[in-house]
């Protein structure tokens, strides 16, 4: 019986510990004394601790039964998820930024996760080192349906009732009865009715059909698959910007190259008269100026860290080639006839003997965090991309990454220059940039929607000119300048079409 007595003593102490310390201190010290008021998620964490303590009290009263253990573990598992989900909201912020009180310079949601982890660990240790046998547990009941409580057990129940009642009172004052819910960012706790306001988040909950919240963005437009829910218009007259000049098709041809999927980006290197083509399914292909054969290629293992989703752009950067995925992750490689195929195994399905990986990284953005990109280009100082609209965010954000250190340099929506007209009640977010080129300090951003090219001066970050390209080009995927001609690739009618515009 000694093991049984020790077991229930430790469980009672654990109940007193979780209720009196994290729940009690948060309620009495943080709440009543310091004015801290929990947000919705913090209330959920506090309630989870109460559920854990309730499960332990059932064990104290009715014995160690699997259903009580199961309820405790489910609550602790949910609490761990909630705590680290809550922490993740603030983990992306700068040092010291966050919400509510801190303990040892750490916000309370992290400590809630520590409590949940401790519940699982300590309960496992109690069972491992003091857990009585089933026969000993059964013998203690002596035919009764419930245990006779010790003084310590009684104290555990009293502490539980007092603290939970106090929390219920605080919750009613701060949150209110249903359908009111705790706000995301509550004001400090007060008993003065003048400053108490009850809020509800249920309206937003049911008006937003995506359970992924701001991360529930739709897939972007690719060469072979149109962006879901997005209807493209190839008529430049309907564009949100007035077109200043129209480009015409000088020639066109089908690119009959042995590629693994449709072309999703193009770049020309005037230093050696070579083209780099990227395909939707993670292929990079190098070709001569006539684009009639493939000289070298690789196919990326896109799941190696960081994950690089389908290629949308490429550029030559000195002796290296940088290839961008639509999730703003990229790989930089170098052509190497003596490449170590074994060393390149992790990065390449094909071409590990022809290319050496130099860097694999990503743009880490703020304004464009929940947006994808559909194109990419670089100059000597910066790498550029432009966000594409999605079901939650119709944005047009120019992203600049420093080539020197790979850090974010700017994120902005370009201003409208004096020579450009934005139509009334229209926005740049209607554009869908799927091709980018750079020439003489200016970016040329081609929108598949409305067949318009906007020219952005990189010195002033403003749109200084607009061009249209023929409606015959229905699915522009890449473009670049070759001398004074503009080479454009469009995947349509199941073919990679090359158009030369003048």
Are the beta carbons of 281 and 299 closer than 8 angstroms? yes
Contacts of 162 (CB under 8 A, 6+ apart): none
297, 437: one domain: yes
Percent of the chain with pLDDT over 90: 75
Tens digits of per-residue pLDDT, 364-417?
999 999 999 999 999 999 999 999 999 988 999 999 999 999 999 999 999 999
Query: How many CB atoms lie under 10 A from the CB of residue 180?
Result: 16
pTM, two decimals, is 0.79
| Overall residue count recorded for the chain in this entry | 502
Query: Does residue 220 lie in a domain region?
Result: no
287, 387: one domain: yes
Query: 217 — phi, psi (to 5°)?
Result: -80, 150
CATH assignment at residue 421: 2.120.10.30
Contacts of 99 (CB under 8 A, 6+ apart): 39, 90, 107, 185
The mean pLDDT of the chain is 92
Query: Does residue 226 lie in a domain region?
Result: no
282, 159: one domain: no
Are the beta carbons of 453 and 501 closer than 8 angstroms? no
Indicate the pLDDT class of residue 85, thresholds 50, 70 and 90.
confident
Q: Which of 472, 496, 502, 500 is nearest to 488 (CA)?
A: 500
Are the beta carbons of 191 and 344 closer than 8 angstroms? no
157, 14: one domain: yes
Q: Give the separation between CA 375 and CA 364, rounded to whole angstroms.
A: 16
- Please report the pLDDT score of residue 212 as a whole number: 63
300, 159: one domain: no
Indicate the pLDDT class of residue 485, thresholds 50, 70 and 90.
very high
DSSP type of residue 215: G
Query: Does residue 475 lie in a domain region?
Result: yes
3-state secondary structure of 237: helix
Which one of 186, 207, 228 terminates a domain?
Answer: 207
- Please report the pLDDT score of residue 3 as a whole number: 81
108-130 and 2-18 helices cross at what angle (nearest 10)?
180
For residue 345, pLDDT beyond 60: yes
359, 487: one domain: yes
Tokens 């949100």 correspond to: 240
- 452 pairs with which residues across the strands? 447, 468
Strands, DSSP E only, in 417-484?
Answer: 433-439, 442-447, 452-457, 462-468, 476-482
249, 103: one domain: no
- Total domains present in the chain: 2
Indicate the pLDDT class of residue 311, thresholds 50, 70 and 90.
very high
Judged on CB neighbours under 10 Å (0-12, 13-18, 19+), 104 is exposed
384, 488: one domain: yes
111, 243: one domain: no
Contacts of 154 (CB under 8 A, 6+ apart): none
When pLDDT is averaged across residues 219-226 and rounded to a whole number, the result is: 96
- Please report the pLDDT score of residue 134 as a whole number: 73
243, 189: one domain: no
Contacts of 104 (CB under 8 A, 6+ apart): none
Torsion of CA 19, 23, 29, 30, to 10 degrees: 180
DSSP type of residue 218: P
Tokens 């990284």 correspond to: 361
188, 326: one domain: no
Tokens 């057990």 correspond to: 153
Q: Give the separation between CA 194 and CA 104, rounded to whole angstroms.
A: 33
Instruction: Please tell me which residue, 158 or 88, carries the higher pLDDT value.
Output: 158
DSSP type of residue 46: H
When pLDDT is averaged across residues 98-124 and rounded to a whole number, the result is: 83
Distance between alpha carbon 250 and the CA centroid of its chain, in Å? 43
2-18 and 134-141 helices cross at what angle (nearest 10)?
90
Q: Which domain holds residue 20?
A: 2-207
Query: 440 — phi, psi (to 5°)?
Result: 50, 45
Query: Does residue 186 lie in a domain region?
Result: yes
199, 278: one domain: no
3-state secondary structure of 395: coil
3-state secondary structure of 163: helix
Question: Tokens in use for 367?
Answer: 């304004």
Which one of 187, 207, 227 terminates a domain?
Answer: 207
Alpha-carbon distances of 468 from 134, 236, 432, 471, rounded to whole Å: 81, 6, 14, 9
3-state secondary structure of 427: coil
């Amino acid at each position: 019986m000694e093991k049984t007595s020790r077991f229930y003593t430790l469980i009672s102490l654990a109940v007193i510990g979780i209720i009196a310390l994290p729940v009690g201190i948060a309620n009495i010290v943080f709440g009543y004394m310091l004015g801290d008021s929990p947000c919705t998620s913090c209330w959920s964490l506090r309630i989870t601790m109460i559920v854990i303590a309730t499960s332990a009290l059932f064990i104290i009263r009715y014995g160690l039964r699997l259903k009580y253990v199961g309820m405790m573990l489910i609550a602790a598992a949910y609490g761990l998820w909630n705590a680290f989900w809550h922490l993740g909201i603030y983990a992306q912020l700068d040092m010291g930024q966050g919400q509510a009180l801190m303990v040892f310079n750490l916000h309370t949601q992290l400590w809630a996760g520590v409590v949940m982890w401790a519940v699982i660990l300590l309960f496992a240790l109690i069972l491992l080192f003091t857990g009585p046998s089933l026969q000993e547990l059964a013998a203690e009941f002596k035919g009764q349906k419930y245990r006779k409580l010790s003084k310590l057990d009684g104290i555990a129940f009293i502490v539980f009732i007092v603290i939970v009642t106090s929390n219920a009172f605080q919750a009613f004052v701060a949150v209110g009865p249903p359908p009111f819910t705790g706000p995301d960012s509550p004001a400090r706790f007060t008993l003065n009715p003048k400053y108490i306001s009850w809020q509800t988040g249920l309206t937003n909950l049911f008006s937003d059909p995506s359970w992924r919240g701001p991360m529930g963005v739709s897939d972007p437009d690719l060469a072979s698959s149109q962006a879901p829910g997005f209807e493209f218009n190839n008529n430049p007259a309907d564009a949100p910007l007035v077109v200043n000049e129209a480009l015409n098709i000088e020639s066109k041809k089908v690119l009959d190259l042995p590629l693994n999927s449709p072309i999703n980006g193009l770049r020309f290197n005037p230093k050696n008269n070579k083209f780099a083509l990227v395909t939707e399914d993670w292929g990079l292909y190098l070709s001569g100026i006539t684009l009639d054969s493939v000289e070298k290629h690789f196919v990326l293992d896109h799941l190696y860290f960081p994950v690089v989703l389908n290629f949308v752009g490429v550029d030559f950067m000195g002796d290296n080639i940088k290839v961008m995925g639509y999730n703003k992750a990229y790989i930089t490689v170098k052509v190497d006839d003596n490449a170590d195929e074994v060393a390149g195994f992790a990065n390449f399905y094909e071409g590990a003997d022809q290319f050496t990986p130099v860097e694999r990284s990503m743009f880490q953005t703020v304004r464009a965090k929940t947006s994808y990109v559909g194109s990419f280009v670089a100059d000597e100082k910066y790498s550029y991309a432009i966000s594409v609209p999605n079901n939650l965010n119709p944005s047009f954000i120019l992203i600049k990454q420093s080539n020197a250190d790979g850090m974010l340099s700017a994120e902005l929506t370009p201003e409208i220059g004096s020579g450009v007209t934005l139509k009334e009640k229209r926005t740049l977010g209607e554009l869908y940039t799927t091709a980018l080129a750079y020439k003489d300090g200016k970016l040329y951003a081609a929108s598949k929607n409305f067949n318009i090219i906007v020219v952005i001066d990189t010195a002033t970050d403003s749109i200084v000119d607009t061009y249209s390209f023929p409606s015959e080009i229905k699915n522009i995927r890449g473009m670049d300048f070759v001398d004074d001609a503009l080479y454009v690739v469009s995947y349509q009618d199941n073919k990679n079409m090359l158009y030369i515009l003048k």
